[in-house]
Every structure is written in C-alpha cells, then in structure tokens.
Amino acid sequence: MSNSGNRGWALIGPLTVILWIAGIFLVTYKAPGDHASGSDVLAWYRAHTLTIVLGGWLFMLGSLGFVTFVSGLRLRLAEAAGQASQLPGLALVGAAMAGAFGMLTAAVDVAGGIDKNEIGPTTALAFHHAVDIFFVCAELAAILPLAAVAIVAWRTRVLPRWWAVLSGFVAIVLVVGPIGWAAVIFGLPIWTLGTSLFVLLGSRPRVRAAAATA
C-alpha cells in the first residue's frame, strides 16, 4: 500500500504537539528567571523535581514523535518528488537532528532534577543555562525539514502552495538568530499540526510531471 493511502502515521503530528505543550508547561512551572543564581536554580530542582522530570520526559517523547512524523512525511514527499530527489531524505536528517537537540534541551534540566542532591549551585546553574546551547542547535536543524517540505510542496503540490510558502517563511525566520526562537516555540508546533491535518484530510500529490514543469 502506498504511503499516500495510509495516513495513520500523520496522527503522530498532533500527539507530538500535545506532548511538547504539556512538557513545556510542566518543566517551566515556577522556573527561576533568566538572571537567577545557582542557589535559586538548585532550590528549584529540589522543590519541583517531579514536574521537571515529568515535563522533560514528555517533551523528549514529543521530540521523538517529531522525528517519527517527518519519517512518515518523507515517504509522502518521495512519492511526489521522485526517488531521485534528495529533499525528502534531507528533511528526515534535519528532523532527526532537531529531535536530538530538542531532547537534550529538556534533558539538562531533567538531569538537574535527578541529581539535585549530588550537585552544587554552580553545576545547577551550568545545567540550566546549557538549555540555550541545545535550543539554538535545534533551531538551526529545524530549517532543513521545513525548507525541504516547502520546496517539494511548491513543486509538486503534495501540500497546498500557500502552505509551502508558510513553511518557507518559518524556515527563513529560523535562520534569523534574534527571532528564530519564536519560530521554534510557535512556528514549529503550528507547522507540525497543520501539515498533519493536510495529510489526514487527504491532500493528494500531483503527478511527478508537475515537478518538471513547475
């Protein structure tokens, strides 16, 4: 059965977004401010261990869900663009990188919560600020799947062309460091949810000839 006929995998998209939202809500619950001291961070790890660990775990599962979702989408893109196209594979590679860095973004605070009694304020502060390192990496990695989908969707209309334009716009915002965070926090979940809905509603790829004539 072709991937276009079997769309069940697209349900992973909404599940991914739910896991992300729940995870962020829990892991940031009563989190210390940007300029908090190491003692403040350590106190937060000790007072809210359960919500930090649970929230981080849910967020990491959501990151795995994102990779799984794009893996299913890759097959759909390959059907539309042709097996010779490198773009579907590039989308999956980028999603895998973004998913891995997304997991690490949450994992550092999870580690702080787990090891709260074995670390001091300095280590706690280092753990908490390491979130920024992995977040930036996830931000850049997410450019690949969104840009690849934008190009394939524009050429083949496997997704609506206006959605291809929106995907490309979000990818461009991700490139711009000072505002790229907004594309990760808002743009990526909306893109994941929207793309999954288009697939579930039965958007069909055009014939491959459309790609050659576009």
pTM over 0.95? The answer is no
- Give 45-103 pLDDT, tens digit per residue: 999 999 999 999 999 999 999 999 999 999 999 988 877 689 999 999 999 999 999 99
> Strand, helix or coil at 1?
coil
Q: Is 60 exceeded by the pLDDT of residue 212?
A: no
pLDDT bucket at 5, cuts 50 / 70 / 90:
low
What is d(CA 89, CA 87) in angstroms, rounded to the nearest whole number?
5
Q: What is the mean pLDDT of the chain?
A: 90
Distances (CA, A) of 120 to 23, 109, 141, 148: 25, 14, 32, 44
Tell me the average pLDDT across 96-124.
96
- Give 158-176 pLDDT, tens digit per residue: 999 999 999 999 999 999 9
Give pLDDT, residue 35: 87
What is d(CA 15, CA 22) in angstroms, rounded to the nearest whole number?
11
Percent of all residues in the chain with a pLDDT value above 90, rounded to a whole number: 79
Q: How far from each other are the two terminal CA atoms of the chain, in whole angstroms?
A: 28
Tell me the average pLDDT across 147-162.
94
Give pLDDT, residue 8: 80
